[in-house]
């Protein structure tokens, strides 16, 4: 049998540690480049819109907000038309705001 030399074991361990260190350095560099790429403003915006487009809850919220805003706007136009009276315009805007909020909040109950 061959006698195991402590120096040989130490050299082998050092070699294995150097290989592990080189591999981890490559992984660290890859992670660095990935992080830099993902933190670019354009990529942040793309990811945010991508998440919004795939989330059914957000889609429903956007749809109910659009319906509410459209209903409020159309109600203002039907009731007041295009008036030049500043008091009527302010009241029309308040009416539009109230109707938009009511329709948006109650659109969840109408979906059931």
Look up residue 67 and give its two tokens.
């319906």
The residue that leads in pLDDT, 39 or 83, is 39
pTM: 0.44
pLDDT per residue over 32-53, tens digit each?
999 999 889 888 888 887 877 7
- pLDDT value at 112 more than 50: no
d(CA 106, CA 111): 9
Helix (H/G/I), strand (E/B), else coil: 98: helix
Task: Say how far apart CA 79 and CA 95 lie, in whole Å.
Answer: 10
């Amino acid at each position: 049998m061959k006698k195991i030399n402590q120096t040989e074991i130490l050299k082998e361990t050092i070699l294995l540690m150097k290989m592990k260190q080189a591999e981890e350095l490559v992984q660290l560099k890859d992670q660095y480049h990935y992080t830099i790429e993902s933190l670019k403003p354009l990529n942040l915006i793309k990811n945010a819109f991508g998440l919004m487009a795939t989330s059914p809850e957000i889609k429903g919220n956007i749809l109910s907000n659009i319906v509410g805003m459209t209903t409020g706007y159309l109600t203002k136009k039907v009731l007041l038309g295009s008036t030049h009276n500043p008091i009527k315009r302010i009241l029309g805007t308040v009416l539009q705001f109230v109707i938009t909020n009511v329709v948006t909040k109650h659109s969840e109950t109408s979906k059931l």
